[in-house]
Structure 1
């Protein structure tokens, strides 16, 4: 009898899990199958909704596996040390299955561990599972990678997608194995869970993911192109957090979309899935993009920084209601509407002229759907430093953005209660509200709610000069 290991990462499901299904297909009754999850403290973040929500999802997966008589064993500590000890404990371990990462920290980890496995005569079976297309599948006719989204999409949409394959009943033995490595790992995992204290409800698990997918396809998909920009109506899919943990198969999403009649909403959502693949590919092609601008001419920008301005942005106290409502939504719920992500990112980088890396790092701490490729791509887009980014001279006006996408101020009032009684006429510019009206509704602008932190009109000319000078 030989041991085969399934190494779970950001693929917390059994349904349509490529590596898991391949392991079952290739195994015989004589093989002992062991499921593991490695907890690497190098990746841990402090006071992070991102991390805490992921571990809640991992706990749910662990418990759901138990209900199916499957044990997820935990390892904790240095990655290579863990696997060295595991190989010493299991001399008959000869194969490992996992769904690979194609960029960032995960790619470096996988390359290092593949070398380790091969050195120890452990057969490696790794698969691209997280995206509809891998980072090297969509190429120009010349073999080069795309740098602009639209031609990438034209090629992407013509390429066949792998089918969704529902996992059949699991009839292999995946029971608990007693070993000190695993008992210590489980102890550490329980300690991590005990320290979590998310200030909001967090639904997770395969069943929740499927429920959200069905609701979106049935009730919001076909109006998606109209409703996705309005934060109060909130007709976004809410699937991103399940995709980033792997609780939902991307192929299952594609299958659900293609079971529906065509519509503008369906086409718009399909383009969003392509953006996800595009940014994943861009991160692979630009492995330093988390700390370095993709556009070389903008790598020496002298970003402005004041601690007070950054803190006011983080806490939703800039004096621009749509910006502040978005940041408060993030701080209170661990999530932010996509339109607002663009608005607050533009405000930080263009109005406050604060380094986009600071905003990206804050989102990494707070977002329950944090995906490095998409988040970094979005921030570099807003800062005009990334590939196919918004031109530096296109600067969102936070006031007109609020007027357009929250016309009655419903979303603003939801997250800024001190403005709940402000008339619609002044909801997007409360600092212009006459004193007598402020008194009549018992609010003082400048006291209960701040006046604008910057003059947007003046900042616009400054940021234009900032980019022109820095890139010349």
Structure 2
């Protein structure tokens, strides 16, 4: 069993299939050097994965087994370990990213050359690849239609748990020669100064889920307000598979049966996740290009000023408090509230006119819950270049978004403390405050806090023209 994006024992479909079909099952995880080589040495996600492996190791040891952990390229390590253990087959969960699919093709070919099988099983989605298609047998490109078909197809068996616990007798102990596990230092990493702000592993994931359940019914009412505990905060556990998507859908469906609108809204967000995985599978070009190909021709801003604006955006120094608060939350914690992800993405692409791919890449480096499918889908939605994207002429106003979703400035004050003394009225747009108001709050524009790097109204006109030239053709 090759663990990848499923760092748990409970309700693990590939593990269940391995245990069901095989007499003896060894468990393996590989720190992939292809992935690790692109990350900074203090990347908090690597430390989080390492802690998740500690939790998984404990679970496996309680079942009389253990976890083999190696560092290298899976294309080399998987066949080598399979040969050393003399196994007949390797089991893993399906992955939908282009590079991951190519990796799996190479692993499969090398295993086949040694007369070994490679089996993949759906685990990180409810419906994958070709399971939800339109009447013409083609993938959906509009979310609402996809969601309706998804809900129509859903049956209880789609979210029934895989009873791994009934088959653990097939789990094998780790051979003595393979017991040594590389530590963070061995793989070129160090503990981050600011780790992921939540406990790792499937045990902690279950606690996080229990924390969300009492709040689920209010999810629809509170999820857009970053100062409130509205979101589930489960995305990082879904990303690394310390939670089963089937368990979450079952929880949502159960609550919906009692009329919970919050659960229905939350389920819709889980369906978006399936949707973006499906889009990435069928349209892998979106990883590098606009889904709507004509928008590849957009002439994004470039040059020294664009670089200064991009740096200001990255550092949370744009002069728009809600944008800056969101970016500082990301930089400090590796998490960003979903409403803020939309606001800062709209600001980068529409107000600053900077290529969405640069923002997507920055998020990929910083987000604890980074997932190519969702990150790409979200950025292309905000940039109006994707499938079922926000129309290009709908441009978030960072001031009105701030006033609506952080009306008392509580979130802004947390992450932009230099503005804390401003009133609720002025904190959303400090440059509009009178000099004596700024002085009383000990704020000097361009010194204590920057003026806006662009004027939103003027930037909006430029953005409409930039997109309109292509749309009208």
Scaled by the length of structure 1, the TM-score of the pair is 0.93
Residue 60 of structure 1: aligned partner:
55
In the other structure, the counterpart of 1:89 is 84
How far apart in 1 are the matches of 2:324 and 2:453?
11
Matches within 5 A, 1:47-126: 47=40, 48-90=43-85, 92-126=86-120
Deviations, residues 324-378 of structure 1 (Å, cap 9, x unaligned): 0000111111100000000000000000011111111111111111111000000
- Bigger mean CA deviation after superposition, 396-405 or 15-24: 15-24
Judged with a 3 Å threshold, the aligned counterparts in structure 2 of structure 1 residues 331 and 189 are, in CA distance, closer, same or farther, namely closer
Q: Distance in 1 between matches of 2:20 and 2:79?
A: 27
Matched ranges for 1:108-257 at <5 A: 108-159=102-153, 160=155, 161-168=158-165, 170-179=168-177, 183=180, 186-187=181-182, 191-192=186-187, 195-200=190-195, 201-217=197-213, 219-257=214-252
Please point out which of 256, 268, 273 is paired with 1:271.
Answer: 268
Query: Does 300-309 or 385-394 show the bigger shift?
Result: 300-309
Q: Give me the whole-angstrom Cα distance separating, in 2, the residues matched to 1:34 and 1:114.
A: 18
Once residues 351 and 176 of structure 1 are traced to their aligned partners in structure 2, the CA distance between those partners, rounded to angstroms, is 55
3-state SS in 2 of match to 1:126: strand
Aligned partners of 2:70 and 2:182 also within 8 Å: no
Classify the secondary structure of the residue corresponding to 2:160.
Answer: coil
The answer to whether structure 1 residue 34 and structure 2 residue 26 are counterparts is: yes
Q: Is the 8 A contact 1:50 1:370 kept in 2?
A: no
Give, in whole Å, the separation in 2 of the partners of 1:18 and 1:229.
33
* Aligned equivalents of 2:428, 2:444: Cα separation in 1: 15
- CA distances 1:263-297 after superposition (whole Å, capped 9, x unpaired): 21111111111101100000111112121111111
Q: Is the 8 A contact 1:80 1:113 kept in 2?
A: yes
**1:198 CA drift (Å):** 4.1
Q: In 1, are the aligned partners of 2:320 and 2:429 still within 8 Å (CA)?
A: yes
Q: What residue is the counterpart of 1:294 in the other structure?
A: 291
Q: Judge conservation of contact 2:44–2:368 (CA < 8 Å) in 1.
A: yes
Alignment match, 1:3: none
Point out where structure 1 has 5 or more consecutive residues left out of the alignment: 1-5
Contact kept? 2:209, 2:232, Cα under 8 Å? yes
- In 1, the alpha carbon distance for the partners of 2:71 and 2:186 equals 12
Answer whether contact 1:227 1:234 (CA < 8 A) is retained.
Answer: yes
Structure 1 residue 56, shift from structure 2 partner: 3.3
Partner of 2:35: 43
What is residue 313 of structure 2 aligned with on the other side? 313
Aligned to 2:347: 347
SS of 1:125 mapped into structure 2: strand
Q: Displacement, 1:220?
A: 1.4
- 1: CA distance between counterparts of 2:162 and 2:30? 26
Structure 2 equivalent of residue 259 of structure 1: 254
Moved more, 456-465 or 195-204: 195-204
Runs of 4+ in 1 over 6 A off after TM superposition: none
Aligned residue for 2:91, secondary structure, equals strand
Deviation of the 1:425 alpha carbon: 1.4
Larger mean Cα displacement after TM superposition, 304-313 or 347-356: 304-313
**Structure-2 change in CA distance of 1:59 and 1:361 (3 Å):** farther
Contact 1:49/1:367 (8 A) holds in 2: no
Change (3 A) 1:447 1:67: farther
- The alpha-carbon deviation at position 258 of structure 1 amounts to 2.7
Q: What TM-score results when the alignment is normalised by the length of structure 2?
A: 0.93
Q: How far apart are residue 135 of structure 1 and its match?
A: 2.1
Q: Provide the secondary structure at the position in 1 that maps to 2:2.
A: strand
CA shift in 2, pair 1:331/1:113, >3 Å: same
SS at match of 2:152: coil
